[in-house]
Amino acid sequence: MFALRLIQVALSSIARNTMRSILTMLGIVIGVGAVMVMVAIGQGAKSTIQERIEGLGTNLIVITPGAATTGGVSMGAGTMGQLTIDDAEMLKEQGYLINYVSPVVNTGAQLVGPAGNWRAMINGVSLDYLDIRNWSLTDGRFFDQAELQASRTVAVIGATVSENLFPDGDAVGQSIRVRNVPFTVVGVLGKKGQTAEGRDQDDVVLAPYTTVRTRLAGRQFISQIVATTSNRNEIPAAQEEIRAIMREAHGLSEVDGDDFTVRDQADLAETASGTAEVMTWLLAAIAGISLVVGGIGIMNIMLVSVTERTREIGIRMAVGARGSAVMFQFLTESVIMSALGGLMGVALGYAGAAVVAQITGWSTSIAPAMIAVAMGFAGAVGVFFGFYPAHRASRLDPIEALRRE
């Protein structure tokens, strides 16, 4: 009953000065709303980054050549040509944790089509490549095993290549020249967009690795091997399995270092997500300044309220009210104003996030936990900044308070 009475008195006091109470809560409303919008933008950016990383491949593992050393100086990963088709085939045969494996032979080339010229990356791959990279086709088909074995000059082109060489859209069945080698377009890839580094994933041509290696690249070694697991939890074990198979294939002893590098997307995903997380909290901290400003406003108004109601406080104390009851009364008013401001701020945050998403096209996301945190912080601001005025009211001398006009 005592708590209910406190709330009734607090609401009555807030209602007596409606405009002043609204202006007091405005700082909390803006603060909570700003925090919600900023966190929504940050969480949306984090989700977008994770989606783009996932778009690079489902549980992707990349094996690249090791680092060559010149004059005792490492030249970096990929400078030693030590990967072969046999390595990829051995991984496919012996890897229990690996679902799909594909060698990749990369080479850049000038393409000539009906609408003109276009330079793109040519990737020689196997049949598993679409499953590994989680790509789909919007038109036509992928090349088959017979075309792979026979080194047929067939190609599947990305959306960017299709738009530039076949602006009318009828690419399947037509011919393009790649370094004066005629290729028949059998399929068109669906759009994937840019990577986190800004590289256009649609500016690519896929062809059988047997064809690219013999007709275009002209080398025995391959650029990389890509593989995938059935789920992300198996990636660490799969990497160790790949490392063991590769060391055996290359005849490396226990004292020899790896002449290849095995990487997955986990480090990239963790780094990108960590960066987005830092930005989210940075934006929230900046927006949180508004909450502090709002809390200072509440403290000032509550101090004014104590001054205005000094005689009321004196009367309550004279008839037996204890100082703790007076303190709880003013503290309750402060918390209620903060809570009401927090609720309006949550609504403002939802509306603001929706407007930002509509105007900019950015992804925004508000987690239920964020609402609880925002409301909890608003309540904490009310307690923190309302304590001093409430304590001051409770310490008033009844006789001096009754004398106050």
In 3D, which of 64, 102, 55 has the Cα closest to residue 82? 64
| Tokens 């919007």 -> residue | 138
pLDDT at 254 over 70: yes
At residue 276, the pLDDT reads 63
Asked whether the predicted pLDDT for residue 11 surpasses 50, the reply is yes
Q: E strands, 209-330, where? A: 224-228, 260-264
Q: How far apart are CA 194 and CA 303, in angstroms?
A: 56
pLDDT value of residue 197? 60
Per-residue pLDDT at 68 exceeds 50? no
What is the Cα–Cα distance from 187 to 161, expressed in whole angstroms? 12
Q: Residues 373, 374, 378, CA angle at the centre, nearest 5°?
A: 115
Q: Are 312 and 398 within 8 A, CB to CB? A: no
Q: What is the pLDDT of residues 97-122, one digit of tens each?
A: 898 999 999 998 889 988 888 898 99
Single pTM value for the model: 0.58
Q: Residues 63-78: what's their mean pLDDT?
A: 56
Beta bridge partners, 104, equal 224
- Quick one: which of 304, 398, 292 has its CA closest to 30? 292
Q: Is 310 helix (H, G, I), strand (E, B) or coil?
A: helix
pLDDT confidence of 348, banded at 50, 70, 90?
Answer: confident
Residue 73 pLDDT grade (very low, low, confident, very high; cuts 50, 70, 90): very low
Is 90 exceeded by the pLDDT of residue 147? yes
| HSE of 270, CA atoms in CB hemisphere, 13 A | 4
pLDDT of residue 158: 92
Lowest mean pLDDT among 90-99, 296-305, 344-353: 296-305
pLDDT of residue 126: 94
**pLDDT digits over 285-312, tens only?**
766 676 677 777 777 777 777 776 677 6
Between 344 and 169, where is the model more confident?
A: 344
Which of 81-90, 191-200, 268-277 has the least mean pLDDT? 268-277
Helix intervals (H) in 75-120 = 85-94
Q: What is the DSSP string of 371-393?
A: HHHHHHHHHHHHHHHHHHHHHHH
pLDDT digits (tens, 9 = 90+) for 154-212: 999 999 999 999 988 788 999 999 988 999 999 999 888 766 566 788 899 999 999 99
pLDDT at residue 246 greater than cutoff 50: yes
Q: Give 366 or 202, the one with higher predicted confidence.
A: 202
Q: Which long-range contacts (CB under 8 A, 24 or more apart) does 361-364 make?
A: 362/41, 362/44, 362/45, 362/48, 363/44, 363/45, 363/47, 363/48, 364/37, 364/40, 364/41, 364/43, 364/44
Query: What does the alpha-carbon distance between residue 41 and residue 355 come to, in Å, rounded to a whole number?
Result: 11
Going from N- to C-terminal start, the domains of the chain cover 2-52+270-403, 60-264
Per-residue pLDDT, averaged over 214-237, amounts to 85
Does residue 70 carry a pLDDT above 50?
A: no
Predicted local confidence at residue 56, as pLDDT: 56
Burial 330-347 (b: 16+ CB within 10 A, else e): bbbbbbbbbbbbbbbbbe
- And the tokens for 340? 């009401």
